[in-house]
A and B are shown apart, each in its own frame.
Chain A
Amino acid sequence: MIASSSSACRSKTEEAGRKAQPPTKWRATAQQRVYGRRLLDALRATAGGGARAVKAAADSALALTARGQSRWSRAILLGRRRNRNRRNLLQIKDKIRSDRGRTRPASAPRGTDRLRVLRRLVPGCRKLSAASVLEEAADYVAALEMQVKAMRALADAFSGAARAAATEAQRGA
């Protein structure tokens, strides 16, 4: 379902051609608006409950708003389209591996370890060089901040609207 929604989203997107510096383009309120719209529609597509589905929809919407200019966005979108069962298995495998690694004492103060962690955090950066990982991380951080802002606004609006509707219904009934 998410796959179909993302493909439908992609078919509808228009290329406005934003060419700003990658990390700063996420600050513009215009982007927030675009993302808000996409998020809304993606949320409508998600069937009822399911926090994971909501998160997946939000991430897909975020990746779409990136217009495929960054690696992590492409990784997210491509990853969603592939077989989801396979991805879940891979995630489980990664979790097991990381658990074994966590038994080691606190990560040694080496830049490579941290780079590895960063590679794991930012989607789609597993085989990139250090410089590219840092670049992707910058873009990803900016995008995440915008996502958090938009989702928080939406959640507040949701709860406010729900309360209003409830009171309306009460008054009406």
Chain B
Amino acid sequence: MEPPRSSGVGIDNSGEYSPEIAETLRFEEEIQSLIHPSSFDGSAAPTGGGSFTALLGLPANQAVELLHDSGAREPLASRIRVGEHPVHRPFHLPLDCSSAFPSNATLVDRAARFSVFAAEGSPASSSGRLKAEPQDSDSPPLDPIPTGPAKRKDTGRSKAKVTAKKSKNAEENTDGDKLPYVHVRARRGQATDNHSLAERARREKINARMKLLQELVPGCSKITGTALVLDEIINHVQTLQRQVEFLSMRLAAVNPRIDFSSLDSYLSAECGPVTVRNGPGGVVVDPSLWPTDATAEATRRLLVPQFWHIDLVPPQLQPQQSLTTWERDGAAHSQLLPNPTTSLFLYDPANSGDTNVPHRTAKLKTAEDRALNL
């Protein structure tokens, strides 16, 4: 499980995610230590009774650390006293995780949440709960069960760093233990029949999406009221569409006059280190037409060959003629390739061109792959 994750992260942005990955790895070990008690070192044997005494059986420093840790840990200890199970095992988790906890606020939050459920008095789930707690602590996920106050807090800080698998397990543990048959807990003063529950869920979904939209559209966060916000959104969408139309008109006006050769330099300049290789070369529909003319220095430097797939060009004379006019304008510098390549978008590596076709296609494919992998 671990190697794919790390490799996946390595591709994206290793600098950003490595601390989280270290965290997840640490949690992996802890959870495995949970599952396999034999791998424990220095812990009390899993005995039948006396949870708290078993806790005292832990090495002194660990117990001290547990009890004197941040105030958020207090509920943990107190709940252990309530429960009647050998809960010493999970205590290793907070000790190891203490350095990895993002903030105490999340713990307090979670403690508050769990204390609510503890009040319901489901002792059978205490061990499962505790096991779930530290797992949960690293990835405060969005509760699928919209329990009233808990959901609000969760949505406030939902930033899943750990993979969803562990959090899902945690959620399933907690949900299965606490609320076996009821999915939504009604808030105070609200109807509890099925219809209003469904309606409320639907309304909350819509409101969540509306909030998302509000953040997206500039200037909508100040507006209160669904109707006005919707108006603003519609206005924004129409504005964007109109802008697209105007820009397309502009592009269409400029299109015939450009040779697409100097374009990629601008594109790469603005978009960062794009691996566009410039070089002469091109598959043309009509190979015999265009000589290899070396024109101005700028255009030669910025050349991009134009590979035209045969299917791409419609079976009319017009585009070919427009191509030829571009060529005759003298801005382009292309070579002839007798065989058309099969791939559509190929960028030539920076060499002077007359390499044989299969060689070139290999190079081009890698360049294309690199450009697309981004």
Residues of B within 8 A of A (CB): 202, 205-206, 209-210, 212-213, 216-217, 226-227, 230-231, 233-234, 236-238, 240-241, 243-245, 247-264, 266-267, 270-272, 274, 295-296, 298-299, 306, 308-309, 311-314, 316, 318-319, 322, 329-331, 343-345, 369, 371-374
Contact = CB atoms under 8 A, between A and B. Distances in A.
29 contacts: A4-B314, A9-B344, A14-B372, A29-B271, A33-B272, A37-B372, A43-B260, A47-B316, A47-B319, A49-B255, A55-B245, A109-B227, A111-B230, A131-B206, A137-B213, A141-B233, A144-B237, A144-B240, A144-B244, A145-B240, A148-B243, A155-B251, A155-B254, A159-B250, A162-B257, A165-B257, A168-B331, A169-B296, A172-B295
B230 to A, nearest CB: 4
A32 interface: yes
B251 A54 contact: yes
Interface string A23-61: 100000110111011001101111111111111001100
Nearest to B313: A45
Nearest 5 pairs between A and B by C-beta?
Answer: A157-B266, A55-B248, A134-B209, A161-B262, A144-B240
Contacts of B255: 43, 46, 48-49, 54, 158
A165 to B, nearest CB: 5
B271 A33 contact: yes
Given A47-B322, A48-B318, A131-B209, A34 B372 contact: yes
Contacts of B263: 40, 154, 157-158, 161
B257 A110 contact: no
B252 A50 contact: yes
Interface in A93-127: 109-111, 114-115, 117-118, 121-122
Interface of A: 1, 4-5, 8-9, 12, 14, 16, 23, 29-30, 32-34, 36-37, 40-41, 43-55, 58-59, 109-111, 114-115, 117-118, 121-122, 130-131, 134-135, 137-138, 140-142, 144-145, 147-148, 151-162, 164-165, 168-169, 171-172
Contacts of A169: 296, 329-331
A115 B372 CA distance: 37
A50 B280 CA distance: 29
Given A32-B271, A134-B209, A44 B331 contact: no
A155 B250 contact: yes
B345 A37 contact: yes
Contacts of B329: 165, 169
A87 B241 CA distance: 19
B254 A159 contact: yes
B365 to A, nearest CB: 10
Nearest to A44: B260
